Structure 1
Amino acid sequence: MNDIGIEVTLKEWLYNAGIVGFVNIVGKENINVVDNSTISFSKEVLHGFENKYFEYFIDTYEKLLPWYKIISYESEIIRFENNDFDTFDEKNLEQLNTYIKDIVKKYIKSNSYKAAYPLMKNETDLLDLEKKLKTIPTPKKSETFSDKKAVIVDEVKERFSILKNIITCCKSQDGRRYLAGKNVIYNQIKNGWDGVCFLNPQTKEKDMYVDFKNHFVTPTEEYIDEEDTKRKYHCFVCDRSIKNLNLDLSFLNQTGFDTSRKSSHVWNFTNDVGICPICRLIYSCAPAGFTYVYNQGLFVNDSTTIENLLRVNDNIKMSTLQQNDTSVRTVNTYYALTKAIQEQFSGKMKFELADIQIVRYENESYRFNVLSRLTLSVLNQSKEAIIKLLNTGFREGNTNFNLYELVMKKLFNNENLFTSIHKLIIYKLSNVSNLYYNIGHVNHMLEINTNFLREVGRMEGLVKEEVRKANQFGYYFRKAYKDKGSDNKLSGISYKLLNALKTNNINMFMDVLLNCYSYLKKQVPELFLQVFTNDETFKTIGYAFVAGIIDNSIKNEEGRE
């Protein structure tokens, strides 16, 4: 081995995430693409790697860190001081108190920050400032804010003086290096590995930069330099020669295991799972290969080529973090994935690629899906309908559900949407509270589901326009009942139709339909003959019809008229 070209090759998903993370950390300009599945780098790239490692996480996730929440209030302080507090009102006082209580005091006295203070050269005693920092009492019910404003502003000025010292210390070079560094350890890095280095509670080295270098970087540099004549084992991952099996995969979350305690996990109870320092360094970079936002992570293992792997994950990272910057109500990793897919697999490319593995990190565990050509085609056909579901959802108990995420999960698992569509229509019909969608969004889901069923070959005869007609027939059905003064019967009819759809009972559905159209003295639309084609066509037409019955919005009425 020489220091001119240290090669690493794509393997399984976690190692590939480590390769993407390594490239993100050192920069694409410092690696060479040997072929479609291999990159190489020189030993010089490892100089100062521990600094590059933390800088990548801090730079990438800066605006999501508690450290940034502390320093970002500086602009508010400057704004109020510049206008001599003329615009400071009761709402601003409430926001200031929340900032002091829930952000500054909470994080400044946290154990992770306390551990960082001895490493900082700044002489400011943040813990002493935190003790002096108090919230400001709000006016009593018998008082108005205007009456107390002069007194309140004096107290605000005093708090601002303390806060400016705290913010200055946090914004300093050491403040960013160590306080923001502590944040990324527990918010991002810990998602990928744990229990060793600075994530080992018994570590003797207090400086996480030095600890990372000693644990991962220095062993790699020494391994590259040493002679391999006395190595009798081979790396479990890359097959390079190694002296012993002391390094293993036990530090990886949900993947590795302690070989000294669980010998039953290996063949014949004899451990052969040892890795070289190079692979260990690559695995430590896996968190940098994922995109993490609010306890969710995403990595696309498009291992067809190195370039595709880097490109699609870079697109996901930009889409996700841009989404956060633009203050979308819910940061949705599925949205970032879909947007990246549309950019990555546009045109002919989407038809050339094989199935792609999607790895999601949720609730401290990994979940896997395969993004097939079928799914790519459905996403491409339904991109306009899917995007309209982004900020829609409903609440069940204490849990919020996003329709965009719900639909994407179903598609990635190759499941149809009938169960979700049924639930959403029932909720609307029953006037359930905490619903953040309308029947128009249900119609978008029907369109997506139709595209999906057509791709899997279950509904070749039915076209999108016929689904829209079924929805319109439902609207005119409702209008006819209203004209007869019998609109009070519509709820009961809808429940009967939905029950027939849920139990897949075509005869019951048609009986109800024939009786209702006989009552209206109207002919049953010829479209309903298609319900006898197959179960999927029956449910699609049926749900579109019922959705039209309960959709009585003015917008739809004007459009149809």
Structure 2
Amino acid sequence: MEETIEIYLGDWLYNAGIVGFLKIFEFNNSSSDIIRGDNFISFNRDMLADFQEKYFSFVYQKANTIKDKAEKLKNLLSSEATTEKIKEYIKSITISKTMKNDAVISEILIETKKSKDWRGIANKLIEALPSHWDRNKDLYSKYYLQGFYEGKSIFNANVKSKIKELFHRDFIKPLFSDDKQKKKVHYCKVCNKRIAQKDTFFDEGAFKLTGASANEFKNFYWNLIPNTHLCSLCELIYLCSFAGFSNLRAIGDYRRYLFVNLDTAVDDIYKINNAVENFILPSRKNPYKAIIHNMLLNFQQKRSRWSLGNILFVEFATESEPYRIQHFHVPAYIAKLFEGDNYKDFEQLDGFYYKERKEDKESINVLQKTIDCLLGGISLYGFLNKIMRDMISGKHNRSNGLFNMVKIQKSLDIYKIRRDDMKEKATKKLWSLYYEGQDISKELKRTGAENKIDSIAYKMLSSLRVRDSKSFYDTMLRLYMNLGRKVPATLLETFSPDSVLDPEALGYAFLTGLLGKEYSEHTEKGGNSNE
């Protein structure tokens, strides 16, 4: 029997089990002895000897709705709710058989037939509910787990007692039996490594929403013989999947759960699901959008392009509704924007907020809005045009960070047509145009024509907004003629047959320089002035 066990990543449900397994050990402060490889975890078999204790201590904190009910009663009393409202709530929470079969609770409920003092009854329940939980926590935990599993062992509807002991007998003890003594064996269909248990299959016992009953749907199998055999260890991993799911109660849905699967590493899957449960859902953000933002801004390795293109969201309900699988694909040319030096352009936008109207209470996070545009296939130039026109009208301070949006959009256009070889040349051209815009701004200020900057920029922005390149160049040429300056070759770039810039990229690069701060300030703040 192997003493060191290795569990490898598999399907999304198995991966949820691995995440749940790690969470259970972490909750019990005993995860330090589990080694996390790139696509596996490993640990000593002896760590599972008392796993039922760790398992149920985790389940208790998930299944304890009694604490919430006691808290709700306290709130009703402190908020001076009507007696009728208190009465209705008490009746709703004491309707279950578990409540009625509890002698202490039952005695309190008898009073409801004699007394009309519902506030007094509420106080007695508040005092009695914690001990009621202690007496019945294994049973409540079983009901909680039945939302995910059914049929076998403790998940059988008739099982009412010795739940933890049964779990140990049926799921932990087999982990320490000698499988090699069996005469006729099947190997586990999941790990293809360990010997499967007799009559143990991947069915509703492993996860009830799969609906793959080996007994009731034998016609699903070749020759009507179920062959989805499971070893005791893989079965246990599936039984940990509940702990890998994030409940959507924070955004108002108590029955639904979410899991995010990636084709990368154990740590990546663990961290993103941990972020979903502890940060993203409690913040009440759209979980799908926030998850993509989180991944785009934190996965800087080259493998991110693969992982972003293979995100799997699994959302399901534990009551009546079918589960729903959503596949979110991020194209490689977008994922590439977050690799290497490209990532610096997004960092420059971090902390930049924008209000569409001064009276708006909440500001728009420019970084998040930029990512939203990219994922939605919307050009950044429209958003950039709006911000710059608002800058001119005095709604916002001038910022050099906007130039990074031009670089991002141009990089995207290049990656989209798979002409990565154009990237370096295009970036140098954009920087040249940015500095040219700043030089013109300085020249206008030097000649006392600073008040013309905004009107010239507004006219150019209006032309770019409707993609009127003729009008844009007319304004540009008049500006240079009035200043007595020669139009640099870079500004005429788009007229060249081998141009790497389009009129919009050229125009916005120039205008971000014209309306931005001095580039000496930009350099001090971390901008790249060496291009």
TM-score class, shorter-chain normalisation, is: 0.5 to 0.7
Amino acid in structure 1 at the alignment position of 2:42: I
Gaps of 5+ in 2: 252-256, 317-323, 358-363, 391-395, 523-531
Does residue 460 of structure 1 match 2:424? Answer: yes
Query: Could you tell me whether the CA contact under 8 Å between 1:235 and 1:274 is conserved in 2?
Result: yes
Residue 23 of structure 2 is matched in structure 1 by 24
Partners of 1:289 and 1:313 within 8 A in 2? no
Tell me how far apart the structure 2 counterparts of residues 236 and 44 of structure 1 sit (CA, whole Å): 24
CA distance in 2, matches of 1:106, 1:470: 70
Counterpart for residue 14 of structure 2: 15
Check the 8 A contact 2:112/2:118 in 1, yes or no.
no
1:279 aligned partner: 234
Give CA-to-partner distance per residue, 1:475-520, whole Å, 9 cap, x none: 9999748659x97xx6xx85763343xxxxxxxx421312444677
1:323 matched residue in structure 2: 279
2:42 aligns with one of 39, 42, 55: 39
1:234 to 2:198 alignment: no
- Shift of the 241–214 alpha-carbon distance from structure 1 to 2, 3 Å rule, reads same
- Residues 58, 204 of structure 1: alpha-carbon distance in 2 compared, 3 angstrom cutoff: closer
- CA displacement, residues 217-247 of structure 1 (integer Å, 9 cap, x when unaligned): 6145246426542333221112333365551
Q: Residue 367 of structure 1 aligns to which amino acid in structure 2?
A: H
Which structure's CA Rg is the greater one? 2
Say if 2:265 is the partner of 1:298: no
Q: Is the 8 A contact 1:301 1:358 kept in 2?
A: yes
Instruction: Tell which deviates more after alignment, 226-235 or 454-463.
Output: 454-463
Equivalent position amino acid for 2:470 in 1: D
Residues 513-550 of structure 1 deviation map (CA, whole Å, 9 limit, x = unaligned): 1244467776878654345666875554456678999x
User: 1:52 corresponds to which letter in structure 2?
Assistant: K
Change (3 A) 1:367 1:66: farther
Supply the distance in 1 between the matched residues of 2:23 and 2:233 (Cα, whole angstroms): 17
Does 1:529 find its partner at 2:492? yes
1:431-451, CA deviations, whole angstroms, 9 ceiling, x for partnerless residues? Answer: 9xxxxx999897765555456
Aligned to 2:237, the other structure's residue is in SS state helix
Residue identity in the other structure for 1:497 = L
Name the CA distance, whole Å, in 2 between partners of 1:46 and 1:231: 27
Aligned mates of 1:126, 1:378 — CA distance in 2? 68
TM-score (norm 2): 0.59
Distance in 1 between residues matched to 2:111 and 2:410, nearest whole Å: 61
- CA contact under 8 A between 1:67 and 1:180: conserved in structure 2? no
Closer, same or farther: CA 272–330 of 1 in aligned 2, 3 Å: same
Question: What secondary structure is seen at the aligned counterpart in 1 of 2:230?
Answer: coil
Amino acid at match of 1:231: K
* Aligned-partner Cα distance in 1 for 2:355–2:214: 47
Corresponding residue to 1:203 among 146, 157, 174: 157
TM-score w.r.t. the length of structure 1 is: 0.57
Which secondary structure does the structure 2 equivalent of 1:298 belong to? Answer: strand
The residue aligned with 2:327 is 367
Indicate if the aligned counterparts of 1:194 and 1:253 stay in contact, CA closer than 8 A: yes
Q: Is the 8 A contact 1:7 1:40 kept in 2?
A: yes
Would the alpha carbon gap of residues 318 and 516 (structure 1) be closer, same or farther in structure 2, given more than 3 Å must change? same
- What is the identity percentage for the equivalent residue pairs of Structure 1 and Structure 2? 16
Query: Counterparts in 2 of 1:212-251, with a 5 A limit?
Result: 214=166, 218-222=170-174, 224-225=176-177, 227=179, 228-239=181-192, 240-242=194-196, 244=198, 246-249=200-203, 251=206
Going from structure 1 to structure 2, the CA distance change for 1:474 and 1:69 (only over 3 Å counts) comes to farther
Answering whether residue 57 of structure 2 is matched by residue 55 of structure 1, we say yes
Work out whether 1:511 is the aligned partner of 2:470.
yes
Aligned CA distance change for structure 1 residues 385 and 430 (closer, same or farther; 3 Å)? closer
Q: Deviations over 1:19-70 (max 9, x none)?
A: 2322321354585549774524436725361x533432565x79xx976655
Q: CA RMSD in A?
A: 6.3
Deviations 1:191-213 (A, max 9, x none): xx45656998x833357x82x87
1:114 equivalenced with 2:68 (yes/no):
no
Question: Structure 1 residues 351, 7: CA separation in 2 closer, same or farther (over 3 Å shift)?
Answer: closer
* Correspondent of 2:340 among 359, 377, 381: 377
Find the aligned partners of 1:405 and 1:125 in 2 and give their Cα distance. Answer: 56
Structure 1 runs not aligned, ≥5 long: 81-92, 135-157, 304-308, 395-400, 432-436, 501-508
Do 1:14 and 1:286's aligned partners in 2 also have CA atoms closer than 8 Å?
yes
Q: Which of 380, 386, 394 does residue 421 from structure 1 map onto?
A: 380
CA contact (8 A) 2:314 2:326 kept: yes
